[in-house]
Amino acid sequence: MSSKWNSTIGKKFIMGLSGLLLIGYLIIHLAANLMIFIPDGGRSLNLYSHTLHKLGPVLLVARIILAALFIGHIVNGIWVTVVNRRARSSRYAMYASKGGPSKMSVASRWMAVTGIILMVFVPLHVNMFTLGPYYETVIDGEPMRDIYRLVVERFKEPATVVFYAAVMLFLLLHLAHGFWSALQSLGALNKRLLPVAYTTGLVLATLLAAGFFVLPIYTYFFIPLP
């Protein structure tokens, strides 16, 4: 059955939409994680995390949606990359003398490489934190998970800090191209809006990646283990 969603345009639409929603998640995730910088021994971050966990089934649904967006983004990304590559190689077969790859094909190849790195990073990250050891703390008489302690403990390991800092450079590349490319796939851009979207993507990607980049490094050097 060939429907709109099975076409390249449909797949790109799903990729664009899921990509923008994932960027939305990252903005919230970074904002929450910046609480690590508050010098209150983890009180704010732990209370925030506890409030989320108290949502119970609502949090579960949110996590299922997040996982679906992530998997949907990857599956469609692989599909579009493979189809583009096949189309390109048959074009190359016809016009073999046309010279090197175009700017667009270099960018999309980078999207695949940086996407694969993030695809590996996210499960490792979730395994480290969400599924990591359960330290407990008591705040205002209420027992809760001490997620702050886990984060600080992990970011005292030099190898983890270097790994995170390196991945954030790839996140920067992925988001810088991904943002405007997503809007393009959603049909939201014209010639006038393209440079605006391009600059917005670059600024957004830089802010997000810089935030996630600085966090482990700052923790390593300046935040004491609780």
Task: Report if residue 171 touches ligand HEM, rule: CB under 6 A.
Answer: yes
* Residue choice 54, 63, 86, 91 for contact with ligand HEM (CB under 6 A): 63
Task: Report if residue 212 touches ligand HEM, rule: CB under 6 A.
Answer: yes
Task: Report if residue 179 touches ligand HEM, rule: CB under 6 A.
Answer: no
**Phi and psi of 206, rounded to 5°?**
-65, -45
Report the candidate in 202, 107, 115 with the shortest Cα–Cα distance to residue 167: 115
* Residue choice 15, 69, 151, 183 for contact with ligand HEM (CB under 6 A): 151
**Phi and psi of 32, rounded to 5°?**
-65, -45
What is the closest distance, in whole angstroms, from the C-beta atom of residue 18 to ligand HEM in the complex?
Answer: 13
Residue whose CB is less far from ligand HEM, 82 or 124 = 124
Residue whose CB is less far from ligand HEM, 171 or 223 = 171
* Residue choice 122, 186, 197, 204 for contact with ligand HEM (CB under 6 A): 122
Task: Report if residue 152 touches ligand HEM, rule: CB under 6 A.
Answer: no
CA distances from 198 to 35, 180, 195 (A): 29, 5, 5
Q: Are 139 and 47 in contact (CB under 8 A)?
A: yes
* Residue choice 130, 162, 166, 196 for contact with ligand HEM (CB under 6 A): 130
Radius of gyration of the chain (CA): 20
Q: Which residues contact 179 (CB under 8 A, 6 or more apart)?
A: 19, 20, 23, 197, 200, 201, 204, 205
Task: Report if residue 206 touches ligand HEM, rule: CB under 6 A.
Answer: no
Task: Report if residue 54 touches ligand HEM, rule: CB under 6 A.
Answer: no
> Residue 223 has what DSSP assignment?
P
